[in-house]
Amino acid sequence: MKLKPLLSPTRIALQVSLSSKKKSLQAVSELFAKDIPSISKDLVFDALTDREKLGTTGLGDGIAIPHCRYADCCEPLCAIITLTDGGVSFDASDGKNVDLLWALIVPTDANDDHLQTLALMAEKLTQTEICQAIRQAQDPAKLYLLLTDDSH
């Protein structure tokens, strides 16, 4: 599975100042909706919030992968937000605030795609140099090119 069709420079927001997990999930939902008009930011937000109620998507080390199933989504889609001001609490097991959110929405029945995409994201996020590049990025287009370069 490749990252290029899952992500778009228009679904990357860098160095955003947000004050809570709720506002972070709202911002992610807005990225999806702004890029793809058929997506409802309110419905994505509700689905992400419902998923968080099952257990935090905060992985530790300042990283969260909020994800959910969304009926009006035809294919898996990702969005990335980096946060300023020390990040926000995401109830991660290590207690660290999250400053890097890599979100995923998948069609309701996309079980294999969901797991494959989460595995791909986790693989990227275990690479220290990739996380550092995401956190330091200033240009969404350049970050997109870096992340979709298959040599990483």
Distance CA 60, CA 47 (A): 22
Counting DSSP H helices and E strands in the chain, the numbers are: 5, 6
| Residue 141, SS3 per DSSP | helix
What is the four-CA torsion angle of 69, 90, 135, 19, rounded to 10 degrees? Answer: 110
Distance CA 128, CA 123 (A): 11
Which of the following is catalytic: 26, 31, 47, 67? 67
88 bridge partner residues: 98
**114 assigned to active site:** no
Residues designated as active site: 67
